[in-house]
Copies of this chain bind each other. A is one copy, B any other.
């Protein structure tokens, strides 16, 4: 237990940078692959495709693919590169569509596709990116990759639809919140780790375990991502705190607080979320801290990371599984540093 839940910091400090150094040639191969894809789009929309196939992303899902399918030799596996391109392109397509709905101006320091071209172009370009991802997936000898990607994408979209429908609803249960993040975020993490292990030819037990690892890590990641909207040094994160309160998006901290506030305050929070009264963001941020919600959410993330680790614990002797264990420390450290 000790070793799974609390990684030795000394080992972490040594291992994480080492792993990232090992990862570089793989990410480099992915970047080159992605750039080559631009030529596969019809000439008239290559400019837009190139703009969307941004190479400045965090590449979380590709990294999970490379680690979950890691072979002893450290060599770049072309199947994993192609899979990483498929999953990252699906992810980019969802971002293009997300930015339309959120009316976002900026993503990664550049105008969003919707702002640079138009909402109409962004809808269609997202579709074209998604079609291209599927097309890439059909270059594998069997239907398996394509089938899994298509099913996961449908789940991701379903999660996003549910989130859209729930905006402004102050009575969302914790169960519903977790269901949405399972669909919209954890599913693509899961399929990345599942197919990464699968294409590497690992045992079906490890393939399942790797998928479970990805899913729990994805849940942990989304809770963390939602948490950074309410806690953390504003200047460090580089975004305004409390936008989820202001736009009526009920995330884990707000749900926990709502269920624990005295009746009158709980009612005020409800009316803030459904937009009846204007959001007093600093007040609610203070209340979240006072009530110890921060620690509780942090614990929920740690628990989820622990579930991820437990899933692959039986396979820890394998290089891939040990790398996944280590990579989970990255999120652990980020949450700890918050």
Which residue from chain B places its CB closest to the CB of A42 in the assembled complex? B158
- Interface stretch of the complex, out of A129-137, A239-247, A295-303: A129-137
Q: Given the complex, which residues of B lie within 8 Å of A155, measured CB to CB?
A: 42
Complex contact B164–A124 (CB within 8 A): yes
Complex contact A123–B100 (CB within 8 A): yes
Most chain B beta carbons < 10 A, residue from A121, A139, A149, A157 = A157
Question: Per-residue 0/1 for A152-183: is the Cβ within 8 Å of any B Cβ (1 yes, 0 no)?
Answer: 01110110111011000000000000000001
Which residue from chain B places its CB closest to the CB of A152 in the assembled complex? B131
Given the contacts A97-B124, A153-B127, A154-B128, A146 and B161 also touching, CB distance less than 8 Å = no
Complex contact A44–B142 (CB within 8 A): no
Interface residue A116 (Cβ < 8 Å from any Cβ of B):
no
Interface residue A20 (Cβ < 8 Å from any Cβ of B):
no
Q: Given the complex, which residues of B lie within 8 Å of A135, measured CB to CB?
A: 147, 150-151, 154
Complex contact B128–A157 (CB within 8 A): yes
Partner of A120, one of B101, B130, B149: B101
Complex contact A160–B97 (CB within 8 A): no
Question: Per-residue 0/1 for A13-54: is the Cβ within 8 Å of any B Cβ (1 yes, 0 no)?
Answer: 000000000000000000000000000011011001000000
Complex contact B158–A45 (CB within 8 A): yes
Minimum CB–CB distance for A191 against chain B, Å: 12
Interface residue A203 (Cβ < 8 Å from any Cβ of B):
no
Minimum CB–CB distance for A255 against chain B, Å: 18
Minimum CB–CB distance for A184 against chain B, Å: 10
Q: Given the complex, which residues of B lie within 8 Å of A120, measured CB to CB?
A: 100-101, 164
- We find that the number of chain A residues with CB closer than 8 angstroms to chain B is 48
Minimum CB–CB distance for A239 against chain B, Å: 21
Partner of A161, one of B48, B139, B149: B48
Given the contacts A44-B162, A143-B143, A157 and B100 also touching, CB distance less than 8 Å = no
Which residue from chain B places its CB closest to the CB of A183 in the assembled complex? B42
Q: Given the complex, which residues of B lie within 8 Å of A146, measured CB to CB?
A: 134, 137-138, 143, 146
Given the contacts A120-B101, A121-B165, A125-B161, A131 and B143 also touching, CB distance less than 8 Å = no
Which residue from chain B places its CB closest to the CB of A154 in the assembled complex? B131
Interface residue A253 (Cβ < 8 Å from any Cβ of B):
no
Interface residue A126 (Cβ < 8 Å from any Cβ of B):
yes
Complex contact A157–B44 (CB within 8 A): no
Chain A stretch 73-103: residues in CB contact (< 8 A) with chain B: 93-94, 97, 100-101
Q: Given the complex, which residues of B lie within 8 Å of A45, measured CB to CB?
A: 158, 161-162
Given the contacts A42-B183, A45-B161, A147-B138, A127 and B124 also touching, CB distance less than 8 Å = no
Complex contact A126–B124 (CB within 8 A): no
Interface residue A204 (Cβ < 8 Å from any Cβ of B):
no
Minimum CB–CB distance for A132 against chain B, Å: 6
Minimum CB–CB distance for A93 against chain B, Å: 8
Chain A residues engaging chain B, CB cutoff 8 angstroms? 41-42, 44-45, 48, 93-94, 97, 100-101, 118-121, 123-128, 130-132, 134-135, 137-143, 146-147, 149-151, 153-155, 157-158, 160-162, 164-165, 183
Please give me the 4 A-B residue pairs with the lowest Cβ-Cβ distance, nearest first: A138-B147, A131-B154, A135-B150, A134-B150
